[in-house]
Amino acid sequence: MLAMPIADLLRERIGLDPASLGADAIASAVRQRMQAVECGRVEAYERQVQSSEREFEELLGVVLVPETWFFRGCAAFELLRHFVANEWRPANPLGTLRVLSAPCCTGEEPYSIAMTLLHAGLPPTAFKVDGVDISREFIAKARRAEYRAHAFRNEGQEFARPYVIHAGDKIHLQPEAVASVEFAAANLLDSGALQERGRYSVVFCRNLLIYLHTRAREQVLALVDRLLEPGGLLFAGHAELLQRPGYRPMTPLGAFAYRRTDKQAPLDGVDLQTKASTPLGRPSRPPSHVYPPRLSPAGPARKSQRGIVVPPLRSEAAAGEESLARARELANAGRLVEAASLCERRLSADGPCARTYCLLGEVCAAAGDLARAEDCLNKALYLDSGLVEALVHLSLLAHKRGDAHAAAHFRQRAARLSRRAPKPRLSKR
Ligand SMILES: C[S@@+](CC[C@H](N)C(=O)[O-])C[C@H]1O[C@@H](n2cnc3c(N)ncnc32)[C@H](O)[C@@H]1O
């Protein structure tokens, strides 16, 4: 048998874009497995992986990224709760909500979904959550539903407490949180994957697309198209903003959720009020009343070079946080002019701030002022080179300009940072 380089094999079978893992990741995984099976020649190992399903799975165990935790990207779960309590349940008082978590890794995401649905007032009999992942090993762990405290590193989900049982250094879940969750191993790239499943009202497909090459991403999204019902919600990862006909971004922007739109899709008060009010939607001319005036350049009250910004006093910092949160609320409500001017005021009062520039960039992009958006996002990155949101939005804007190379560059930087920093990274300013 002709040996196929491992990177090509992974590309073909699981859709992996080897560059997304970093330069040496695959080579070091291969070295690790060659040592484990005592194989001295790369060609011989390549042949072994190609012919042995078992060794291929062992290799996947080293290559795949099992990074996940409970309530990761918690805004998504809050939006899910809102959707279920205010829209889905009133429309389906006797129905069963079907949710897909794919990929689900070791189960933290589907169980977080289940706890959120219980919190939204659904009894376990009123919903079913399916978790799917390519790794049998991860699926077996998910079924065991046994975790370490670190899996609950996100704080603030007080409502989840009643479903969590501490047993020594382990954590288990109460029966009602696991009763309606089922798992299956499947490759989302298989054309027959999940063939027998019906449609879902909600699909979580988070933190997979960033690892895939373009064709594989399209295959996975085609699967989502097949499985998600019209009007249903798709949740993507924060580095995976979607530009896809038939999907409309929803607020809050930080939930990275999309409404599957078609003629029957209900109008909802949660979606962005203007279709142009997001960098993610297809460009269309925004209504004039939401188009922000050309904003005057934010005159930096303090020096803008990295590292020499004087930290504000505590009370100032708290006020700043509040006004930034308020600006985001306004942006999420589609009140772009007000959001932009609040950001501007904050910048001129407090000096340069990465997160404010980032939000202003998002707002300008939402309003269609793409040049100004890029300018603000670049300033945000200059102040904080680890600001993933800024990278993600710059990637989208580059994509819109048709600069695929820059788009990929920003996306890869965002993906690298996301892998490195499991906790949401908060810039100091
Ligand atoms: C980083 S985890 C994301 C888990 C979860 N969705 C989250 O956001 O926390 C990525 C998962 O994708 C799975 N995966 C990679 N390629 C896949 C494929 N072709 N089909 C199904 N799952 C895949 C991996 O096994 C891994 O568990």
What phi, psi does 131 have (nearest 5°)? -110, 130
Query: Does residue 220 line the site of ligand 1, with CB under 6 A?
Result: no
Residue 275 has pLDDT above 50, yes or no: no
Closest approach atom of ligand 1 to CA 135? 25
Pocket test for ligand 1, best of 134, 138, 419 (most atoms within 8 A of CB): 134
Please state the rounded mean pLDDT for residues 11-38: 92
Query: Does residue 70 line the site of ligand 1, with CB under 6 A?
Result: no
The predicted pLDDT at position 316 comes to 58
Residue 188 near residue 220 (C-beta atoms within 8 A):
yes
Query: Does residue 145 line the site of ligand 1, with CB under 6 A?
Result: no
Pocket test for ligand 1, best of 133, 150, 240 (most atoms within 8 A of CB): 133
Rounded distance from Cα 205 to ligand 1 centre (Å): 9
Query: Does residue 138 line the site of ligand 1, with CB under 6 A?
Result: yes
The predicted pLDDT at position 252 comes to 83
Q: Which two tokens stand for residue 83?
A: 């959707």
Query: Does residue 21 line the site of ligand 1, with CB under 6 A?
Result: no
The predicted pLDDT at position 267 comes to 35
Query: Does residue 17 line the site of ligand 1, with CB under 6 A?
Result: no
Rounded distance from Cα 130 to ligand 1 centre (Å): 14
Higher confidence at residue 213 or residue 365? Answer: 213
Higher confidence at residue 146 or residue 3? Answer: 146
Q: Cα–Cα distance between 256 and 190 in angstroms, integer?
A: 26
What phi, psi does 19 have (nearest 5°)? -65, -25
Please state the rounded mean pLDDT for residues 331-335: 78
Report pLDDT digits (tens) over 104-147.
999 999 999 999 999 999 999 999 999 999 999 999 999 999 99
Please state the rounded mean pLDDT for residues 179-202: 94
Location of structure tokens 């004039």? 288
Query: Does residue 151 line the site of ligand 1, with CB under 6 A?
Result: no
Q: Is 230 exposed, middle or buried (0-12, 13-18, 19+ CB in 10 A)?
A: middle
Q: Cα–Cα distance between 191 and 223 in angstroms, integer?
A: 8
Residue 227 near residue 197 (C-beta atoms within 8 A):
yes
Report pLDDT digits (tens) over 284-312.
332 222 222 222 233 333 333 332 233 33
Query: Does residue 66 line the site of ligand 1, with CB under 6 A?
Result: yes
The predicted pLDDT at position 254 comes to 83
Contacts with 325 (C-beta within 8 Å, 6 or more apart), sequence order: none
Contacts with 273 (C-beta within 8 Å, 6 or more apart), sequence order: 290, 333, 334
Query: Does residue 236 line the site of ligand 1, with CB under 6 A?
Result: no
Query: Closest residue (by CA) to atom 5 of ligand 1?
Result: 104
* b/e sequence 400-429, b meaning 16+ C-beta within 10 Å: beeeeeebbebbbbbbbbbbeeeeeeebeb
Query: Does residue 103 line the site of ligand 1, with CB under 6 A?
Result: yes
Closest approach atom of ligand 1 to CA 205? 6
Nearest to 74 by CA among 189, 201, 238: 238
**pLDDT band of 1, cuts 50, 70, 90:** low
Q: Which two tokens stand for residue 103?
A: 């990929």
Query: Does residue 14 line the site of ligand 1, with CB under 6 A?
Result: yes
Query: Closest residue (by CA) to atom 14 of ligand 1?
Result: 134
Please state the rounded mean pLDDT for residues 236-249: 87
Query: Closest residue (by CA) to atom 21 of ligand 1?
Result: 134
Give the chain's mean pLDDT: 82
Query: Does residue 68 line the site of ligand 1, with CB under 6 A?
Result: yes
Report pLDDT digits (tens) over 32-82.
999 999 999 999 999 999 999 999 999 999 999 889 999 999 999 999 999
Query: Does residue 286 line the site of ligand 1, with CB under 6 A?
Result: no
Query: Does residue 188 line the site of ligand 1, with CB under 6 A?
Result: yes
Rounded distance from Cα 70 to ligand 1 centre (Å): 15
SS3 label, residue 52:
coil
What domains can be seen in the chain, in order of their start residue? Answer: 6-63 (no CATH), 74-260 (3.40.50.150), 288-307+316-420 (1.25.40.10)
Rounded distance from Cα 327 to ligand 1 centre (Å): 34
pTM of the model: 0.68
Query: Does residue 273 line the site of ligand 1, with CB under 6 A?
Result: no
Please state the rounded mean pLDDT for residues 180-187: 97
Rounded distance from Cα 105 to ligand 1 centre (Å): 5
Rounded distance from Cα 10 to ligand 1 centre (Å): 14
Query: Does residue 105 line the site of ligand 1, with CB under 6 A?
Result: yes
Query: Does residue 232 line the site of ligand 1, with CB under 6 A?
Result: no
